[in-house]
Amino acid sequence: MQGNQAIAEGALYAGARFYAGYPITPSSEIAEECSIRLPKLGGVFMQMEDEIASIAAVIGASLAGAKALTATSGPGFSLMQENLGLAIMGEVPCVIVNVQRAGPSTGLATKPGQSDIMQVRWGRHGDQSLIALCPATVAECFSLTVQAFNLAERFRVPVVLMPDEIVGHTRENVTVPAPGELEVIDRKAPTGSPAAYLPFAPDADGIAPLAAYGSEYVVHVTSSMHGRDGYSNNDPANANWRVRQLHEKLERHRGDIVLTRTFDTDDMDVLLVTLGATTRAGRAAALEAREQGIRAGVLQLQTIWPFPDREVAALAKNVRMVVVPEMNYSGQLAGEVRKALGAGVDIRSVNRYNGTIITPQDILDAITAPARERVEA
Protein backbone atom coordinates (compact mmCIF):
# COMPACT_ATOMS: atom_id res chain seq x y z
CA MET A 1 0.00 0.00 0.00
CA GLN A 2 0.91 3.66 -0.22
CA GLY A 3 2.30 5.50 2.79
CA ASN A 4 -0.74 7.75 3.02
CA GLN A 5 -3.03 4.74 2.82
CA ALA A 6 -1.05 3.09 5.61
CA ILE A 7 -1.58 6.18 7.77
CA ALA A 8 -5.34 5.90 7.29
CA GLU A 9 -5.18 2.17 7.97
CA GLY A 10 -3.17 2.77 11.14
CA ALA A 11 -5.67 5.36 12.35
CA LEU A 12 -8.55 2.92 11.92
CA TYR A 13 -6.56 0.19 13.68
CA ALA A 14 -6.02 2.55 16.61
CA GLY A 15 -9.76 3.17 16.86
CA ALA A 16 -10.11 6.49 15.06
CA ARG A 17 -13.73 7.06 14.09
CA PHE A 18 -13.77 10.74 13.12
CA TYR A 19 -11.97 12.58 10.35
CA ALA A 20 -12.40 16.22 9.38
CA GLY A 21 -10.19 17.77 6.74
CA TYR A 22 -9.73 19.79 3.59
CA PRO A 23 -8.02 18.28 0.53
CA ILE A 24 -4.42 19.35 -0.01
CA THR A 25 -1.52 17.78 -1.89
CA PRO A 26 0.35 15.62 -0.93
CA SER A 27 -1.92 14.36 1.88
CA SER A 28 -5.25 13.97 0.06
CA GLU A 29 -5.09 10.17 -0.15
CA ILE A 30 -5.52 10.02 3.62
CA ALA A 31 -8.82 11.87 3.36
CA GLU A 32 -9.90 9.75 0.41
CA GLU A 33 -9.22 6.51 2.28
CA CYS A 34 -10.99 7.74 5.41
CA SER A 35 -13.99 8.89 3.37
CA ILE A 36 -14.43 5.32 2.14
CA ARG A 37 -13.56 3.37 5.26
CA LEU A 38 -14.95 5.37 8.18
CA PRO A 39 -18.66 5.21 7.28
CA LYS A 40 -18.41 1.43 6.96
CA LEU A 41 -17.11 1.28 10.53
CA GLY A 42 -19.82 3.52 11.95
CA GLY A 43 -17.47 6.51 11.95
CA VAL A 44 -17.83 10.01 10.55
CA PHE A 45 -15.98 11.66 7.67
CA MET A 46 -16.45 15.40 7.15
CA GLN A 47 -14.92 17.50 4.38
CA MET A 48 -14.71 20.95 5.92
CA GLU A 49 -14.59 24.37 4.26
CA ASP A 50 -10.96 24.93 5.28
CA GLU A 51 -8.20 23.77 7.60
CA ILE A 52 -9.20 26.09 10.44
CA ALA A 53 -12.62 24.45 10.61
CA SER A 54 -11.03 21.02 10.20
CA ILE A 55 -8.92 21.15 13.36
CA ALA A 56 -11.80 22.79 15.24
CA ALA A 57 -14.07 19.88 14.31
CA VAL A 58 -11.40 17.37 15.34
CA ILE A 59 -11.09 19.04 18.76
CA GLY A 60 -14.85 18.96 19.22
CA ALA A 61 -15.11 15.32 18.20
CA SER A 62 -12.32 14.35 20.58
CA LEU A 63 -13.96 16.17 23.48
CA ALA A 64 -17.16 14.28 22.65
CA GLY A 65 -15.22 11.04 23.17
CA ALA A 66 -14.06 10.05 19.68
CA LYS A 67 -10.54 9.33 18.54
CA ALA A 68 -10.12 11.95 15.83
CA LEU A 69 -7.62 13.02 13.18
CA THR A 70 -7.03 15.37 10.30
CA ALA A 71 -4.42 15.46 7.54
CA THR A 72 -2.90 18.40 5.71
CA SER A 73 0.33 19.86 4.33
CA GLY A 74 2.33 23.05 4.85
CA PRO A 75 -0.15 25.86 4.07
CA GLY A 76 -3.00 24.02 5.78
CA PHE A 77 -0.85 23.22 8.80
CA SER A 78 -0.11 26.94 9.10
CA LEU A 79 -3.84 27.63 9.31
CA MET A 80 -4.27 25.06 12.07
CA GLN A 81 -1.83 26.64 14.52
CA GLU A 82 -4.23 28.72 16.63
CA ASN A 83 -6.67 25.89 17.23
CA LEU A 84 -3.77 23.50 17.76
CA GLY A 85 -2.75 25.82 20.60
CA LEU A 86 -6.27 25.45 22.00
CA ALA A 87 -5.90 21.66 21.85
CA ILE A 88 -2.64 21.88 23.79
CA MET A 89 -4.11 24.24 26.39
CA GLY A 90 -7.24 22.09 26.72
CA GLU A 91 -5.20 18.85 26.75
CA VAL A 92 -7.29 17.44 23.92
CA PRO A 93 -6.02 14.14 22.49
CA CYS A 94 -5.98 14.19 18.67
CA VAL A 95 -3.69 13.42 15.72
CA ILE A 96 -2.68 15.89 13.02
CA VAL A 97 -0.89 14.51 9.95
CA ASN A 98 1.34 17.01 8.14
CA VAL A 99 2.67 15.44 4.94
CA GLN A 100 5.53 17.85 4.34
CA ARG A 101 6.09 19.48 0.96
CA ALA A 102 8.52 22.06 -0.40
CA GLY A 103 7.81 25.70 0.47
CA PRO A 104 7.70 28.50 1.32
CA SER A 105 4.06 29.55 0.87
CA THR A 106 2.41 27.42 -1.84
CA GLY A 107 5.91 26.43 -2.93
CA LEU A 108 6.28 23.19 -4.89
CA ALA A 109 2.93 21.66 -4.02
CA THR A 110 3.69 18.14 -5.24
CA LYS A 111 7.35 17.93 -4.20
CA PRO A 112 8.94 16.78 -0.92
CA GLY A 113 10.39 18.90 1.83
CA GLN A 114 11.43 18.63 5.47
CA SER A 115 11.20 22.31 6.35
CA ASP A 116 8.35 22.15 8.89
CA ILE A 117 10.44 20.73 11.73
CA MET A 118 10.55 23.99 13.66
CA GLN A 119 6.99 24.97 12.80
CA VAL A 120 5.70 21.70 14.23
CA ARG A 121 7.40 22.47 17.53
CA TRP A 122 7.14 26.26 17.78
CA GLY A 123 4.26 27.22 15.46
CA ARG A 124 1.98 28.31 18.29
CA HIS A 125 2.52 31.30 20.55
CA GLY A 126 3.24 30.96 24.25
CA ASP A 127 4.88 28.24 26.30
CA GLN A 128 3.56 24.95 24.95
CA SER A 129 4.68 21.49 23.98
CA LEU A 130 3.47 18.54 21.95
CA ILE A 131 4.68 15.24 20.49
CA ALA A 132 5.79 14.76 16.88
CA LEU A 133 6.64 11.50 15.10
CA CYS A 134 8.24 10.96 11.70
CA PRO A 135 7.97 7.71 9.69
CA ALA A 136 10.56 6.65 7.12
CA THR A 137 8.80 3.64 5.57
CA VAL A 138 5.27 2.61 4.69
CA ALA A 139 5.29 0.10 7.54
CA GLU A 140 6.24 2.91 9.91
CA CYS A 141 3.43 5.04 8.50
CA PHE A 142 1.11 2.39 9.90
CA SER A 143 2.88 1.63 13.18
CA LEU A 144 3.71 5.23 14.09
CA THR A 145 0.12 6.30 13.39
CA VAL A 146 -1.04 3.73 15.93
CA GLN A 147 1.65 5.03 18.27
CA ALA A 148 0.54 8.63 17.65
CA PHE A 149 -2.99 7.81 18.83
CA ASN A 150 -1.66 5.87 21.81
CA LEU A 151 0.50 8.80 22.90
CA ALA A 152 -2.29 11.30 22.32
CA GLU A 153 -4.76 9.27 24.37
CA ARG A 154 -2.34 8.37 27.14
CA PHE A 155 -0.93 11.85 27.70
CA ARG A 156 -3.90 14.03 26.67
CA VAL A 157 -1.87 15.89 24.06
CA PRO A 158 -2.07 16.57 20.32
CA VAL A 159 0.40 14.46 18.34
CA VAL A 160 1.70 15.51 14.93
CA LEU A 161 2.72 12.82 12.43
CA MET A 162 5.10 14.42 9.94
CA PRO A 163 6.05 12.22 6.98
CA ASP A 164 7.49 13.92 3.92
CA GLU A 165 5.89 13.60 0.49
CA ILE A 166 8.27 10.83 -0.56
CA VAL A 167 7.29 8.61 2.37
CA GLY A 168 3.60 9.49 1.97
CA HIS A 169 3.60 8.44 -1.68
CA THR A 170 5.96 5.46 -1.51
CA ARG A 171 4.34 2.07 -2.14
CA GLU A 172 5.62 -1.02 -0.35
CA ASN A 173 4.35 -4.38 0.84
CA VAL A 174 3.07 -4.13 4.39
CA THR A 175 1.89 -6.84 6.75
CA VAL A 176 -1.00 -5.31 8.65
CA PRO A 177 -1.03 -6.64 12.24
CA ALA A 178 -4.03 -8.61 13.36
CA PRO A 179 -6.43 -6.89 15.76
CA GLY A 180 -4.91 -7.02 19.22
CA GLU A 181 -1.39 -7.66 17.97
CA LEU A 182 -0.40 -4.03 18.56
CA GLU A 183 -1.33 -2.32 21.80
CA VAL A 184 -4.14 0.22 21.47
CA ILE A 185 -4.51 2.70 24.32
CA ASP A 186 -7.69 4.55 25.20
CA ARG A 187 -7.82 7.73 27.25
CA LYS A 188 -8.19 7.44 31.00
CA ALA A 189 -11.80 8.05 32.10
CA PRO A 190 -12.86 9.40 35.50
CA THR A 191 -14.10 6.92 38.06
CA GLY A 192 -15.11 9.11 40.97
CA SER A 193 -18.25 11.08 41.71
CA PRO A 194 -19.41 13.39 38.91
CA ALA A 195 -19.91 16.14 41.47
CA ALA A 196 -16.23 15.96 42.45
CA TYR A 197 -14.81 15.72 38.92
CA LEU A 198 -12.14 18.25 37.92
CA PRO A 199 -11.17 17.82 34.25
CA PHE A 200 -7.66 19.25 34.72
CA ALA A 201 -6.72 17.72 38.07
CA PRO A 202 -3.89 15.28 37.29
CA ASP A 203 -3.51 11.87 38.88
CA ALA A 204 -0.21 10.69 40.32
CA ASP A 205 1.09 10.01 36.80
CA GLY A 206 0.61 13.68 35.86
CA ILE A 207 -2.35 12.99 33.56
CA ALA A 208 -5.93 14.02 34.34
CA PRO A 209 -8.80 11.66 33.41
CA LEU A 210 -10.94 12.99 30.58
CA ALA A 211 -14.72 12.63 30.47
CA ALA A 212 -16.69 13.10 27.27
CA TYR A 213 -19.06 15.90 26.50
CA GLY A 214 -22.60 14.65 27.06
CA SER A 215 -21.66 12.25 29.84
CA GLU A 216 -22.70 12.60 33.47
CA TYR A 217 -19.47 14.49 34.12
CA VAL A 218 -19.31 18.24 33.44
CA VAL A 219 -16.32 19.15 31.24
CA HIS A 220 -15.50 22.81 30.68
CA VAL A 221 -12.66 23.70 28.28
CA THR A 222 -11.45 27.22 27.60
CA SER A 223 -8.47 28.63 25.75
CA SER A 224 -7.88 31.08 28.59
CA MET A 225 -5.66 30.27 31.55
CA HIS A 226 -7.76 27.98 33.71
CA GLY A 227 -7.64 25.99 36.89
CA ARG A 228 -8.31 22.34 37.64
CA ASP A 229 -12.05 22.88 37.12
CA GLY A 230 -11.53 24.19 33.58
CA TYR A 231 -12.82 27.69 34.33
CA SER A 232 -10.76 30.85 33.83
CA ASN A 233 -8.23 31.52 36.55
CA ASN A 234 -5.66 34.30 36.10
CA ASP A 235 -3.95 33.92 39.45
CA PRO A 236 -0.14 33.90 38.93
CA ALA A 237 0.30 30.80 41.09
CA ASN A 238 -2.28 28.94 39.01
CA ALA A 239 -0.68 30.09 35.73
CA ASN A 240 2.70 28.92 37.00
CA TRP A 241 1.29 25.48 37.83
CA ARG A 242 -0.66 25.19 34.58
CA VAL A 243 2.18 25.98 32.19
CA ARG A 244 4.63 23.80 34.11
CA GLN A 245 2.18 20.90 34.18
CA LEU A 246 1.73 20.96 30.40
CA HIS A 247 5.47 20.44 30.00
CA GLU A 248 6.19 18.17 32.93
CA LYS A 249 3.60 15.55 31.99
CA LEU A 250 5.68 14.88 28.85
CA GLU A 251 9.10 15.36 30.42
CA ARG A 252 8.47 12.80 33.16
CA HIS A 253 7.38 10.19 30.61
CA ARG A 254 10.10 10.98 28.05
CA GLY A 255 11.32 7.39 28.04
CA ASP A 256 7.95 6.19 26.73
CA ILE A 257 7.75 8.94 24.09
CA VAL A 258 11.16 9.20 22.42
CA LEU A 259 11.63 6.56 19.70
CA THR A 260 14.74 5.99 17.59
CA ARG A 261 16.27 3.25 15.44
CA THR A 262 19.95 2.53 14.87
CA PHE A 263 21.78 0.82 12.04
CA ASP A 264 25.43 -0.31 12.24
CA THR A 265 26.29 1.97 15.14
CA ASP A 266 28.29 -0.47 17.30
CA ASP A 267 31.68 0.22 15.70
CA MET A 268 31.08 3.47 13.81
CA ASP A 269 33.31 6.52 13.64
CA VAL A 270 30.87 8.51 11.47
CA LEU A 271 27.27 9.05 12.61
CA LEU A 272 24.46 9.96 10.23
CA VAL A 273 21.38 11.48 11.90
CA THR A 274 18.33 11.10 9.67
CA LEU A 275 14.56 11.43 9.55
CA GLY A 276 11.91 10.43 7.02
CA ALA A 277 13.05 9.81 3.47
CA THR A 278 16.66 10.80 4.20
CA THR A 279 16.91 7.63 6.28
CA ARG A 280 16.93 5.50 3.12
CA ALA A 281 19.63 7.62 1.54
CA GLY A 282 21.57 7.62 4.80
CA ARG A 283 21.49 3.84 5.16
CA ALA A 284 22.60 3.35 1.55
CA ALA A 285 25.39 5.91 2.03
CA ALA A 286 26.54 4.20 5.23
CA LEU A 287 26.77 0.83 3.48
CA GLU A 288 28.77 2.35 0.62
CA ALA A 289 31.02 4.16 3.06
CA ARG A 290 31.82 0.88 4.81
CA GLU A 291 32.82 -0.62 1.47
CA GLN A 292 35.28 2.26 1.23
CA GLY A 293 36.67 1.55 4.70
CA ILE A 294 34.69 4.25 6.53
CA ARG A 295 32.75 2.89 9.50
CA ALA A 296 29.45 4.79 9.23
CA GLY A 297 26.25 4.20 11.17
CA VAL A 298 22.76 5.68 11.13
CA LEU A 299 20.56 7.05 13.89
CA GLN A 300 16.99 7.40 12.62
CA LEU A 301 14.82 9.76 14.63
CA GLN A 302 11.24 8.49 14.80
CA THR A 303 10.32 10.96 17.52
CA ILE A 304 11.27 14.50 16.52
CA TRP A 305 9.66 16.30 19.46
CA PRO A 306 10.57 15.98 22.29
CA PHE A 307 13.94 16.04 20.55
CA PRO A 308 16.09 12.93 21.18
CA ASP A 309 19.07 14.99 22.37
CA ARG A 310 20.24 12.36 24.86
CA GLU A 311 20.17 9.61 22.25
CA VAL A 312 22.11 11.76 19.77
CA ALA A 313 24.70 12.68 22.40
CA ALA A 314 25.15 9.10 23.57
CA LEU A 315 25.88 7.81 20.06
CA ALA A 316 28.03 10.76 19.00
CA LYS A 317 30.43 10.75 21.94
CA ASN A 318 32.96 8.43 20.27
CA VAL A 319 32.67 9.45 16.60
CA ARG A 320 34.86 11.83 14.62
CA MET A 321 32.07 13.25 12.49
CA VAL A 322 28.30 13.71 12.46
CA VAL A 323 26.43 14.19 9.18
CA VAL A 324 22.85 15.49 9.08
CA PRO A 325 21.02 15.28 5.73
CA GLU A 326 17.69 17.13 5.50
CA MET A 327 15.48 18.62 2.80
CA ASN A 328 15.55 22.25 3.89
CA TYR A 329 17.87 25.24 3.55
CA SER A 330 18.40 26.26 7.14
CA GLY A 331 19.47 22.98 8.72
CA GLN A 332 16.62 22.77 11.22
CA LEU A 333 17.52 19.25 12.36
CA ALA A 334 21.25 20.00 12.33
CA GLY A 335 20.65 22.94 14.63
CA GLU A 336 19.13 20.65 17.26
CA VAL A 337 22.02 18.20 16.84
CA ARG A 338 24.48 21.05 17.45
CA LYS A 339 22.60 22.03 20.59
CA ALA A 340 22.78 18.43 21.81
CA LEU A 341 26.51 18.01 21.09
CA GLY A 342 27.93 21.44 21.84
CA ALA A 343 31.00 23.06 20.32
CA GLY A 344 34.02 21.22 18.99
CA VAL A 345 32.18 18.46 17.13
CA ASP A 346 32.58 18.10 13.36
CA ILE A 347 28.91 18.38 12.30
CA ARG A 348 28.25 18.48 8.57
CA SER A 349 24.91 19.48 7.06
CA VAL A 350 23.66 18.13 3.75
CA ASN A 351 20.88 20.38 2.51
CA ARG A 352 18.55 20.18 -0.47
CA TYR A 353 15.51 22.41 -0.88
CA ASN A 354 14.53 22.25 -4.57
CA GLY A 355 11.89 19.54 -4.23
CA THR A 356 14.17 16.61 -5.08
CA ILE A 357 15.52 13.91 -2.79
CA ILE A 358 18.93 13.80 -1.15
CA THR A 359 20.88 10.90 -2.66
CA PRO A 360 23.37 8.53 -1.06
CA GLN A 361 26.12 10.16 -3.13
CA ASP A 362 25.26 13.58 -1.68
CA ILE A 363 25.85 12.17 1.80
CA LEU A 364 29.05 10.38 0.77
CA ASP A 365 30.37 13.65 -0.65
CA ALA A 366 29.82 15.26 2.76
CA ILE A 367 31.61 12.42 4.56
CA THR A 368 34.66 12.58 2.29
CA ALA A 369 34.81 16.37 1.81
CA PRO A 370 37.37 18.56 3.60
CA ALA A 371 36.12 19.73 6.99
CA ARG A 372 33.20 22.08 6.57
CA GLU A 373 29.77 22.31 8.03
CA ARG A 374 27.53 22.51 4.97
CA VAL A 375 27.23 20.62 1.68
CA GLU A 376 24.73 21.83 -0.89
CA ALA A 377 23.12 18.73 -2.35
Predicted pLDDT at 373: 60
Predicted pLDDT at 370: 82
Average pLDDT of 214-238? 97
Domains and CATH numbers, the chain: 1-257 (3.40.50.970), 261-376 (3.40.50.920)
Average pLDDT of 110-130? 97
List, for residues 339-351, the tens digit of each pLDDT value: 999 988 999 999 9
Q: Which amino acid is at 132?
A: A
Residue pair 352/377 in contact (Cβ under 8 Å)? The answer is yes
Main-chain dihedrals φ then ψ at residue 275, nearest 5 degrees: -150, 150
Exposure string over 39-61, b if 16+ CB within 10 A, otherwise e = eeeebbbbebeebbbbbbbbbbb
Q: Which residues contact 47 (CB under 8 A, 6 or more apart)?
A: 20, 21, 22, 23, 31, 35
List, for residues 255-288, the tens digit of each pLDDT value: 999 999 999 999 999 999 999 999 999 999 999 9
Model confidence at 372: pLDDT above 80: no
pLDDT tier for residue 374 given thresholds of 50, 70 and 90: low
